[in-house]
């Protein structure tokens, strides 16, 4: 196996164009597991650890650009109030050591249905910035996931950043695991309230071949809140509405039975997570948590 170590992004893109078989590696929290268990043996590893262009984040108006190499720890420490759902998900990733190394870019590169960052990216309408020697482009998160561990990334492209709007309302992330830490999610869910458009967005992970938005559930709760003039009046939402929202979120799942849980359990858990995150977010908004600075 070749080990390729570019010193700048332009060099990395040139190598990528010449060696599409090379697997990009930054923190290594996913790739090294695959190698250690002999689940794959790429022709080369493309080490992106020395590329300063992938580090850091910056704000442009109401949008945050997160470099693909920014570790989860910094998202938690520096972006918790601006990107609450992503920060919540980042707190649940592995151990402190893994959060010091793992990145959203790596999560996207693996495109695992169980990746913790994926549901928050979907509910935030994130865009993934990718680059090649041909130029750069942005891929909406809703079109990025193509199948189990497959994405819209072309063979000669690298993920360089993620663009997300700053939260203007409550956001939540929750997941179920076999224990509280160092575990792959049995299922996960993110939810966001957008007061500007008066919309609800919800997405699930580890309960379908790809992370996905729960469109019917979103449309249902968005319509219910509009009919009740909830955004201006803020009256409590009936339990029956929240329960129906959970049922519709669970209906969006297409889970499997595996060693971590059954398909039936995942559907039930998604319904519970949807109800809980909706109740938390609606209460937070009513109590004045209407913007995130």
CA atoms within 13 A on the CB side of 141: 24
Name the pTM for this structure: 0.94
Instruction: Per-residue pLDDT tens, the chain, 293 aa: give them.
Output: 899 999 999 999 999 999 999 999 987 777 777 777 777 788 899 999 999 999 999 999 899 999 999 999 999 999 999 999 999 999 999 888 889 889 999 999 989 999 999 999 999 999 999 999 999 999 999 999 999 999 999 999 999 999 999 999 999 999 998 876 677 899 999 999 999 999 999 999 999 999 999 999 999 999 999 999 999 998 899 999 999 999 999 999 999 999 889 999 999 999 999 999 999 999 999 988 654 43
CA dist 27 and 16 (Å) reads: 18
CA dist 92 and 149 (Å) reads: 21
Residue 71 tokens read as 């570790």
Q: What angle do CA 6, 10, 15 make, to 5 degrees?
A: 55
List helix spans (H) across the chain: 9-18, 31-36, 72-79, 84-91, 96-101, 104-110, 118-123, 141-144, 215-227, 230-233, 239-251, 263-286
169-185 burial, b at 16+ Cβ within 10 Å, e below that, comes to: bbbbbbbbbeeeeeeeb
**What residue has token string 């990334």?**
153
**What residue has token string 């090379």?**
22
**What residue has token string 């079109």?**
143
pLDDT value of position 289: 60
pLDDT value of position 269: 97
**What residue has token string 């000669």?**
156
């Amino acid at each position: 196996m070749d080990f390729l170590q570019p010193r700048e992004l332009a060099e990395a893109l040139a190598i990528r164009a010449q060696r599409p078989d090379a697997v990009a590696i930054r923190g290594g929290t996913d790739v090294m597991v695959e190698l250690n268990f002999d689940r794959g043996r790429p022709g080369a590893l493309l080490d992106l650890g020395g590329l300063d262009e992938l580090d850091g984040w910056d704000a442009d108006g109401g949008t945050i650009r997160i470099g693909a190499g920014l570790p989860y720890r910094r998202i938690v420490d520096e972006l918790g109030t601006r990107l609450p759902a992503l920060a919540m998900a980042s707190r649940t990733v592995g151990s402190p050591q893994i959060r010091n190394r793992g990145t959203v870019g790596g999560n996207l590169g693996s495109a695992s249905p169980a990746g913790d960052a994926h549901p928050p990216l979907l509910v935030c309408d994130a865009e993934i910035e990718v680059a090649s020697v041909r130029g750069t482009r942005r891929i909406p998160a809703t079109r990025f996931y193509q199948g189990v561990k497959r994405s819209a990334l072309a063979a000669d492209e690298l993920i360089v950043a993620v663009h997300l709007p700053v939260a203007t309302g409550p956001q939540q992330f929750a997941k179920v695991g076999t224990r509280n830490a160092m575990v792959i999610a049995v299922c996960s869910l993110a939810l966001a309230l957008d007061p500007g458009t008066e919309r609800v967005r919800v997405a699930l992970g580890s309960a379908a071949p790809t992370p996905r938005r729960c469109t019917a559930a979103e449309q249902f709760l968005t319509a219910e809140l509009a009919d009740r003039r909830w955004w201006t009046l803020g009256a409590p939402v009936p339990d029956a509405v929240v329960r129906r929202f959970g049922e519709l979120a669970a209906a969006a799942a297409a889970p499997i039975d595996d060693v971590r849980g059954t398909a039936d359990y995942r559907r039930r858990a998604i319904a519970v997570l949807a109800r809980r995150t909706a109740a938390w977010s609606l209460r937070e908004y009513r109590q004045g948590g209407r913007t995130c600075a």
